[in-house]
Amino acid sequence: MKRIIVIGVLIALFSSCGEYYSGELTGVSGRKKYFEPEPFGMVFVPQGSYNVGPSDQDVPFAQNTFSKTVTVEPFWMDETEITNNEYRQYVFWVRDSLFRELIAEVMEDEFKISVNEFDDPLEEDIFGRNYRLNWETKLDMNRLKENEEVRQALDNMYYKVEERFFGRKEINIHKLNYRYFWVDLQQAAKSENRYKNSYLEDIGDLDQDPGTYEGTVVLPDGTESPIANRGSFVLKDVVNVYPDTLVWIRDFTYSYNEPMATMYFWHPSFDNYPVIGITWKQANAFCVWRTQYLNSALVSSGDYFVHDYRLPLESEWEWAARGLLQNSMYPWGGVYTRNREGCFLANFKPLRGNYADDGGVTTVAVGTYEPNDLGLYDMAGNVAEWTANAYDESAYFFYHDLNPDYKFNATDIDNPVMKRKVIRGGSWKDIAYYMQVSTRTYEYQDTARSYIGFRCIRSYMGNN
């Protein structure tokens, strides 16, 4: 009897102290189950196949009449374009982070975190800083400005006296720059850049690098750098985040649009209007910020952080715009731009330039018109939208039929032709042809327009 009790105690002891060793392939135990949450303000777009290319009309010699069956995987998509107020949250975050950096140089104890959770000193980051900003400390500007050193440090963020209008102290928008990073998987995947292991005499010598990289990596400025280690594929860039409000004047000659230039982005009456004046690079930087903004919150709560926001692929955008309708000419499925009551179904340039006949002279609030069958608003008209892809007239001929993707990360020194990015959907100033779900055109990645906005997507994780 005693022997049975001893055996039982030993079994209980071993089972409580660690994982039971059976010799069988069972996978890693203790993994948290993951259920894809429904992202706020996003719509689920299921997987599917469709025929790219015009379903009806096309322009002669456009080279876009080629038809090809493609398949896209499921994803989440913003139900509307990014609005002024949503983009303003990003601008304010960048502003506040710059404020905190300046204040941290004076009030280190309150605004700097110099050790990690294990009380170990932080190593220098890519910018040479050995600390993180403390976002828990509230930015009480009235209290902070009582400190003369803080007030002098913050003055760097404002226009100088000679630049002020009627003496107003305003933030210098040219200093609202966002520093961001991304891993260039395309360059890392090239065979010539592959990591090659070396033979080590002592397998336990972990201080020695077991191999080397070969090849070079192209940096955002167009220069090439030898690949030293994994960090060589972590690229960084800096982009100004403030929209170009002068596009309302620059885009149109002999047209009075000054009120839109001075009020469109900041006035509360335009909060729910699509943000414009954003370049392709600014839109990409916003996606990086949105990813990090969400993942930082998830990490602090102990959750997974796999949610990467990005611009939609051209193929994803068209599949979403079709709303599961294979041969639809417009997102609403019909071949006409009016409903049965004679009302226009989107915000565009109808008839012979009667901009107001569809309910909006320029842009209108997002969601003003009915969504397509997936619940996505403004996939035609209002503002055209940036996609992730580079523009090539013959792209349909050479890109893959699974998740079609053609990208070219043009640098500052590349030919302007290489900087063309696909835009889709048409805008308030375009005729009906550009609202067709199959119509593709382009704009240059470093150019902002008063009729181009964007929306984000997020890949779906889990079962289809």
Annotate 288-318 with DSSP letters as a single string. HHHHHHHHHHHHHTT------EEPPPHHHHH
Q: What is the pTM of this model?
A: 0.89
Domain 44-83+294-459 adopts which CATH fold?
A: paralog of FGE (formylglycine-generating enzyme) (3.90.1580)
With contact defined as beta carbons under 8 Å apart, do 378 and 359 qualify? Answer: no
Q: How far apart are CA 421 and CA 391, in angstroms?
A: 5
The Cα angle at residue 82 between residues 463 and 133, in degrees rounded to 5:
85
Look at residue 258 in the predicted model and tell me its pLDDT. 94
Q: What is the pLDDT of residue 6?
A: 47
Distance CA 244, CA 261 (A): 9
**pLDDT < 50 regions, the chain:** 1-2, 5-7, 9-16, 464
DSSP 361: S
CA distance 141 to 54: 56
| Inter-residue contact 154 to 99 (CB < 8 Å) | yes
Torsion, CA 98, CA 100, CA 106, CA 108, rounded to 10 = -140
Residue 118 confidence (pLDDT): 56
Q: What is the pLDDT of residue 208?
A: 66
Say if residue 81 is exposed, middle or buried (CB neighbours under 10 Å; 0-12, 13-18, 19+).
Answer: buried
Residues 17 and 166: their CA atoms lie apart, in Å, by 73
| pLDDT at residue 277, rounded to an integer | 97
Dihedral angle of Cα 15, 17, 20, 25, to the nearest 10 degrees: 150
What's the DSSP call for residue 243? -
Q: Say how many C-beta atoms besides its own lie within 10 A of residue 406's C-beta.
A: 18
